[in-house]
A and B are shown apart, each in its own frame.
Chain A
Amino acid sequence: MDKVIMYIDMDAFFASVEQTSRPKLCGKPVAVAGRNRRTVLVASSYEAKRLGIKTGMTKGEARRILPSLTIVEGKNEKYVDTCVKINEILLRYTPEVEIHSIDESFIDLTGSFPLFSSPIRVARAIKGEIRDSFGITCSVGIGPNRLVAKMAGESGKPDGLVMVKREDVKEFMKELPVESIPGVGKRIGMALKNLKVKSCGELRDFPVSILRRRFGIWGDYLSFMAQGIEPPKDEGPGKLPASIGHSMTLEQDIGDRVAIKAHILELSEMVARRLRKEGVAARGFSLTWRYPDFTTYTKRVSIPFHTQDSKMIYQVIGKLMDCIKLKDRLRLLGVTAFNIQKSMAISSLIEKNDRREKLYKAMDSINDAFGEHSIHRATLLLCKKHHWVISPAYRPYKSYPHKQ
Chain B
Amino acid sequence: MLTKIGKRIRVGVVFKEEGQKIEPKWFLWRGRRLVVKRITYTWRERIGKELVHRFALTDGRDLYELSYWQERLLWFLEAVETDG
Residues 334 to 371 of chain A near chain B (Cβ within 8 Å): 370-371
- Contact of B31 with A by CB under 8 A: no
Return A99 CB to nearest CB of chain B, in Å.
Answer: 17
Q: Is the CB of B46 within 8 A of A24?
A: no
A side interface size, CB within 8 A: 19
Q: Does A232 contact B (CB under 8 A)?
A: no
Which of A146-205 touch B at CB < 8 Å? none
| Interface assignment of B43: CB less than 8 Å from any CB of chain A | yes
A21 adjacent to B48 (CB under 8 Å): no
Q: How far is the CB of A23 from chain B (nearest CB, A)?
A: 6
Which of B2, B46, B63 sits near A370, CB closer than 8 Å? B46
Partner of B44, one of A20, A77, A134, A370: A77
Least CB distance, A167 to chain B, in whole angstroms: 42
- Closest partner residue, chain A, to B63 (CB atom): A22
Give every chain A residue within 8 A of B58 (Cβ-Cβ). 23
A contacts with B: majority SS: helix
Taken together as a complex, chains A and B put the C-alpha atoms of A109 and B30 apart, in Å, by 53
- Evaluate whether A22 and B81 lie within 8 angstroms (CB atoms) in the complex, with A78-B54, A81-B43 already known: yes
Q: Which of A21, A371, A402 contacts B41 (CB under 8 A)?
A: A21
B47 nearest in chain A by CB position: A371
Within B1-24, which residues are at the interface with A (CB < 8 Å)?
Answer: 2
At the interface, yes or no: A401 with Cβ under 8 Å from chain B? yes
- A112 smallest CB distance to B (angstroms): 25
Residues of B within 8 A of A374 (CB): 48
Residue of A nearest to B70 (CB): A402
Chain A residues within 8 Å of B45, by CB: 77-78, 81
Bound complex: CA of A22 vs CA of B43, how far in Å? Answer: 14
The reply to whether A371 and B48 contact each other, CB–CB distance below 8 Å, is yes
Given contacts A23-B63, A24-B81, are A17 and B48 in contact (CB under 8 A)?
Answer: no
Which residues does chain A contribute within 8 Å of B43, judged by CB atoms?
75, 77-78, 81-82
Interface residues of A in 13-39 (CB under 8 A from B): 17, 20-24
> How far is B56's CA from A21's CA once the two chains are assembled, in angstroms?
6
A396 vs chain B, min Cβ distance (A): 13
CA distance A23 to B41 in the complex (A): 10
Residues of B within 8 A of A134 (CB): 41
> Which residues of chain A are near B46, meaning CB under 8 Å?
77, 370-371, 401-402
Complex alpha-carbon distance, A348 and B40, angstroms? 50
Closest Cβ–Cβ distance, residue A306 to chain B (whole Å): 31
Q: Indicate whether B72 reaches chain A with its CB closer than 8 angstroms.
A: no
A349 to B12 alpha-carbon distance, docked (Å): 58
Complexed CA–CA distance, A401 and B70 (Å): 13
Distance in angstroms between the alpha carbons of A272 and B40 in the assembled complex = 38
Residues of B within 8 A of A (CB): 2, 40-41, 43-49, 51, 54, 56, 58, 63, 81
A: which residues have CB within 8 A of B?
17, 20-24, 75, 77-78, 81-82, 134-135, 370-371, 374, 400-402
